[in-house]
Amino acid sequence: MFDLEAPDDLVLVQDAILVPPPVDGRGRQQASGVLTPDGQMVANSISWSNSQEPVNSAPAMPDTVETLSGTWMFGGTLYGHFGHFITESFARAWALDVLRGQIDGVLFTPKQTSANLEPMIKALRPLMDSLGLDVPVRCITTPTRVERLHVPRQASAWAT
């Protein structure tokens, strides 16, 4: 289980590289997540569907990246499905208690980059607001270097 008082449950990565799943990626596990500038997977960026099965795996270091300045929080994998959103996508929102007022918003990676993301975020916005995720939200669809990225550990998943 998670000890949300442990110092490594919320890490700050300078010049983090946020890698979405491949455009043609399908299936249960996708190569996606947060890399350090030297290409190491940030353990806290692993998303879990349950205690045994990660949803993402270490992506390769991308050849080209966009740049996003500012200080952001990693939200994990964004699901459009209500149940998955509540139990997995929203499972890092605990860190907002610590970071509110210090971040520009929350960055997610999509479960699948082919999804129609803007309407999905718009449809989820009232739910996010009511649950306290009332900061700007973006879904990253191309590899992006983020100036400062807080990466909280996922605090829940589906039960096994």
pLDDT at 159 (0 to 100): 45
Q: Which residue has the tokens 């916005």?
A: 125
Instruction: Read off the tokens for 61.
Output: 């270091």
Q: What 3-state DSSP class applies to 120? A: helix
pLDDT at 50 (0 to 100): 66
Average pLDDT over all residues of the chain = 85
**Contact (Cβ atoms closer than 8 angstroms) between residue 141 and residue 20:** yes
**Contact (Cβ atoms closer than 8 angstroms) between residue 87 and residue 157:** yes
**Contact (Cβ atoms closer than 8 angstroms) between residue 109 and residue 78:** yes
Each residue's pLDDT tens digit, 104-160: 999 999 876 666 778 888 888 888 888 888 899 999 999 999 999 999 998 865 444
- For 118-132, give one letter per residue: b (16+ CB within 10 A) or e: eebbeebeeebeeee
pLDDT at 160 (0 to 100): 41
Q: Is the pLDDT of residue 82 over 80?
A: no
Each residue's pLDDT tens digit, 87-96: 777 889 899 9
Where along the chain do its domains lie? 10-152
Each residue's pLDDT tens digit, 1-54: 344 555 689 999 999 999 999 876 565 678 999 999 999 999 999 888 766 778
Question: Which of these, 12, 59, 22, lies nearest to 40 by C-alpha position?
Answer: 59
DSSP 69-80: EEEEEEEEEE-S
Give the global pTM.
0.87
Cα(98)–Cα(19) distance, rounded to whole angstroms?
25
Amino acid identity of 126? P
